[in-house]
Amino acid sequence: MMTAFKSRALPTITNEVAIACIGLYCMAVVMGYGRFLFTATLPDIMVQLSLSTTIAGWLASINYIGYFIGALIAMFVPQRSTWQAMMLWTIVSVVTTMLLVVPDMSLNVWYVIRLLAGIASGVAMILSSSFVIQSLSPARRSVLSAVHYAGIGVGISASAILTWWLLVLGYHFDVIWLVAGLSSLPLLWLLWAIKPKDPYLADSNHPSPRLSIYQTYLSFKQALYEAIAGHYKAIALLSASYVLAGFGYITSATFLPVMAAQRLTMQTYAGLIIWLVVGIFATLSNPLWGALAKRIGEIKTLMGLTVLQALGMCLPIWFDGAVGLYGNAAILGLTFVGMVSMTLTLIKNINPAYSNLLMGLATLAYALGQFLGPLVTVALAGEDGNFNAGLLVAAIGLIIGLILLLLFRRQSTTTA
């Protein structure tokens, strides 16, 4: 009876569309909430906690340091342990989201929570992508992987709507984070339902070998060598361009609602409306770029997105009012998820046998750019909080990244 009850309570999900949708939900939680809900709630956080722009920038950057560490951790996760690590760090992401409801926490505790949230986002984003994509048949992979990555845009949209709704009701960031965490709990059950049936892992008579830290290091070193052997220049160029992609988009992705609050003072909740625009365009964009990539290839699509995003960074400089900010929001949403998915696809395809490791390596590069971006932006903003210089530097970084992509394309063609 107990066995029958467990089988009914915990069904196994194997349908590919369902797995892709669960992947979407996972991305919405670990990225949309774990990372980008901070952007939506930042103006309220700054008011309620009397934070300066500099402290807000450091809170953003500490999260990106965590994302960097998370990407590093993901590189050490063997393929056979992908689901287990994904489950663990998704739980951490949900818990750290709900912890921000605790009142009167010191700034140091905030730093620790945002660091852990960043680590969880980095690990869960990479491993969920690897797990979901490897679970899809080759014939449906391109379409359904776009569904999975659309979760980032869905999460951003949800963060904007949730924040807007609860602020209108008179609540503040603490309740917003609690509700976000509670709405994430069903994901844990769904992830359990797609747990792979691996007899090697499940059979206690054949446990996985326990490796020492030194043996793990040697194993990782060997795997890294095998992953990049013969592809060093291509990986280096693509990773360097990804550093600049992370640096380029993060100024808007962190401070866009703050810029809207500064400039559009006559529009109530202008920052949240603009952040919702980012989420809607991010949700709709990935299937579009996936279809384009099937026609012209990932590298050409990625180069086009890089040019478009650089243009978007310039719009708030050229147009001081709503046109510049809404244009930036629409282009940011259109481009950044596509740039993530295209880059991860390109680097994974260099050596698919080491997809976790290579995707982790790329995400390390992206996280490095995201860590530096807010610090450079707040340094350039100065006491008056003008973000135009930061936007200009972001655009220049993206153009340099485009040059690196052109070199990567030439290198890849030569190698082929």
Q: What is the pLDDT of residues 359-378, one digit of tens each?
A: 878 888 888 898 888 888 88
Write down the pLDDT at residue 9. Answer: 53
Q: Rounded mean pLDDT of 99-125?
A: 92
Rounded to an integer, what distance in angstroms lies between the CA atom of residue 34 and that of residue 201? Answer: 29
Q: Which residue has the higher pLDDT, 50 or 202?
A: 50
- CA–centroid distance for 189 within its chain: 22
pLDDT above 90 (res 382): no
Write down the pLDDT at residue 385. Answer: 76
Write down the pLDDT at residue 7. Answer: 45
Q: What is the pLDDT of residues 309-339, one digit of tens each?
A: 999 999 999 998 899 999 999 999 999 888 9
Q: How many helices (H) and strands (E) does the chain have?
A: 16, 0
pLDDT above 80 (res 383): no
Band (23; pLDDT cuts 50, 70, 90): very high
Write down the pLDDT at residue 213. Answer: 59
Q: What is the DSSP string of 139-173?
A: HHHHHHHHHHHHHHHHHHHHHHHHHHHHHHTT--H
pLDDT above 90 (res 416): no
Structure tokens at 349: 């395809």
Domains by residue range for the chain, with CATH: 14-197+229-415 (1.20.1250.20)
Band (278; pLDDT cuts 50, 70, 90): very high
pLDDT above 60 (res 202): no
Write down the pLDDT at residue 379. Answer: 87
Q: What is the pLDDT of residues 227-243, one digit of tens each?
A: 777 788 889 999 999 99
Percent of all residues in the chain with a pLDDT value above 70, rounded to a whole number: 91
pLDDT above 80 (res 209): no
Band (280; pLDDT cuts 50, 70, 90): very high
Q: What is the pLDDT of residues 139-159, one digit of tens each?
A: 777 678 878 888 988 999 999
Q: Which residue has the higher pLDDT, 141 or 200?
A: 141
pLDDT above 50 (res 87): yes
Hey, how many other C-beta atoms are within 10 angstroms of the C-beta on 253? 22
Write down the pLDDT at residue 82. Answer: 87
Band (121; pLDDT cuts 50, 70, 90): very high
In eight-state DSSP terms, residue 382 is T
Band (265; pLDDT cuts 50, 70, 90): confident
Write down the pLDDT at residue 141. Answer: 73
Closest by CA position to 123, among listed 147, 96, 101: 96
Of 132-136, 191-195, 208-212, the poorest mean pLDDT is in 208-212
Rounded to an integer, what distance in angstroms lies between the CA atom of residue 53 and that of residue 300? Answer: 37
Write down the pLDDT at residue 215. Answer: 65
Q: Rounded mean pLDDT of 59-69?
A: 87
Calculate the average pLDDT of the chain: 85
Closest by CA position to 90, among listed 68, 74, 102: 74
Write down the pLDDT at residue 129. Answer: 86
Could you tell me which residues come within 8 angstroms of residue 272 by beta carbon, excluding any fewer than 6 positions away?
40, 160, 163, 164, 167, 257
Q: What is the pLDDT of residues 28-47, one digit of tens each?
A: 999 999 988 998 898 899 98
pLDDT above 70 (res 3): no
Write down the pLDDT at residue 205. Answer: 40
Of 64-73, 181-190, 346-355, the poorest mean pLDDT is in 346-355
